[in-house]
Chains A and B, each alone.
Chain A
Amino acid sequence: MSPVDIASSASGGATRRIGALVLRHWRLVSGSWPRLIDLAYWPTMQIILWGFVQLHFQALAGHGLAGAAVGGLVSAAIIWEAYFRSQNGFAIGFLEEVWSRNLGHLMVSPLRPWEFVSGLIVISIIKTVIGLLPATILAALVFHANVLEVGPALALLYLGLAVFGWSVGLFCCGLVLRFGQGAEVFAWAVALALAPFSAIYYPISVLPDWIEPLARLLPTAHVFEGLRAILLTHAFPAQSLLWVLVLNVLWFGCAAFAFSKLLDGARERGSLVSIGE
Chain B
Amino acid sequence: MHAIAVEKLAKRYGKAMAVDGVDFIAPMGQTTALLGGNGAGKTTTIAMILGLVKPNGGTICVLDHDIAKDGAKMRAFMNFQSPYVNLPRRLSVRHNLEVYANLYGVPHAMARVEKLAADLRLEAFLDRPTGSLSAGQTTRVSLAKALINEPRVLLLDEPTASLDPDTADWVRTLLEEYQARTGAAIFLASHHMAEVERLATQVLMMKEGRIVDRGTPPQLLARYGRTDLEEVFLDIARDRRQAEPVT
Contact = CB atoms under 8 A, between A and B. Distances in A.
Interface residues of A, number: 42
Given A108-B80, A112-B72, A102 B88 contact: yes
Contact of B84 (A6, A28, A104, A268): A104
Given A6-B76, A100-B88, A105-B85, 16 more contacts: A4-B74, A10-B72, A10-B73, A13-B105, A20-B102, A20-B103, A28-B91, A105-B87, A107-B52, A108-B75, A109-B103, A110-B72, A264-B54, A270-B13, A270-B44, A273-B52
Contacts, number: 124
B103 A111 contact: yes
B95 A6 contact: no
Dominant SS at the A interface?
helix
A20 B1 CA distance: 32
A9 B51 CA distance: 17
29 contacts: A1-B29, A6-B65, A6-B73, A6-B74, A9-B73, A9-B77, A10-B72, A13-B105, A16-B102, A17-B102, A17-B105, A19-B102, A20-B100, A24-B88, A24-B96, A27-B95, A28-B91, A100-B89, A101-B86, A102-B86, A103-B85, A104-B84, A104-B85, A108-B52, A264-B54, A269-B13, A270-B11, A270-B53, A272-B53
A3 interface: yes
Contacts of B105: 9, 12-13, 16-17, 110
A19 B85 CA distance: 22
Contacts of B87: 100, 102, 105
A274 B77 contact: no
B84 A274 contact: yes
The 5 closest A-B pairs by CB, nearest first: A20-B102, A104-B85, A9-B76, A267-B54, A6-B73
A268 B14 CA distance: 11
B63 A3 contact: yes
B152 interface: yes
B86 A100 contact: yes
Interface string B39-52: 00001100100111
